[in-house]
């Protein structure tokens, strides 16, 4: 299956799972999901996938970051070929939720077969062009490996979204 088709299936999943909830669930959801102009932004690498929920006008900034830095979220995931400190290393981890973090180094070192939710994250990283700072309201990150592949990504993403809804509704995360 090609990425254009997968991206459309991801958008359909976001609409079905996260944006068409009954009004009684609104009090549990992160604020980004309640905004009228929220949209999905997908980013593919060979070894991972990011789905970010952003306001429509933020997409331009993310595309500009790809052009300028090669990544919509510079410093969020540490590239394998670059040295440096990292805040969190994950591998073979399912349904992790990282919320209300702030870092001025690489945030994640992603091993194989991980599914993570990043919420309310403030990222700051020094580059050769200066310091970049940005905020992530909500992102789902899936790394590929022996078990998770692009062809079965939707199964893991659906499970991760279900997990996030369950956590928000339980009040364990706000």
| pLDDT tens per residue across span 126-164 | 878 888 888 999 999 999 999 999 999 999 999 999 999
Distance CA 97, CA 125 (A): 22
| pLDDT tens per residue across span 97-112 | 998 887 777 888 899 9
For 129, left (φ over 0), alpha (ψ -120 to 50), or beta?
A: alpha
Distance CA 41, CA 71 (A): 13
Task: Let me know how long the chain is.
Answer: 174
Distance CA 82, CA 31 (A): 34
Q: pTM of the entire structure?
A: 0.94
Q: Mean pLDDT of all residues in the chain?
A: 90
Distance CA 160, CA 29 (A): 15
Distance CA 95, CA 129 (A): 35
């Amino acid at each position: 299956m090609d990425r254009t088709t997968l991206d459309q299936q991801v958008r359909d999943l976001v609409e079905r799972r996260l944006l068409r909830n009954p009004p009684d669930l609104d009090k549990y959801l992160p604020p980004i999901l309640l905004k009228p102009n929220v949209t999905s932004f997908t980013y593919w690498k060979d070894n991972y996938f990011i789905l970010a929920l952003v306001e429509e006008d933020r997409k331009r900034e993310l595309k500009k970051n790809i052009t300028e830095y090669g990544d919509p979220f510079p410093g969020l995931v540490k590239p394998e070929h670059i040295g440096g400190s990292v805040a969190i290393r994950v591998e073979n981890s399912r349904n992790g939720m990282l919320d209300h973090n702030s870092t001025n180094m690489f945030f994640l070192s992603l091993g194989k077969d991980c599914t993570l939710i990043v919420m309310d994250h403030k990222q700051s990283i020094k580059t050769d062009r200066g310091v970049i700072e940005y905020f992530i309201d909500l992102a789902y990150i899936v790394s590929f490996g022996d078990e998770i592949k692009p062809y079965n990504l939707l199964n893991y993403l659906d499970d991760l979204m279900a997990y996030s809804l369950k956590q928000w509704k339980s009040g364990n995360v706000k």
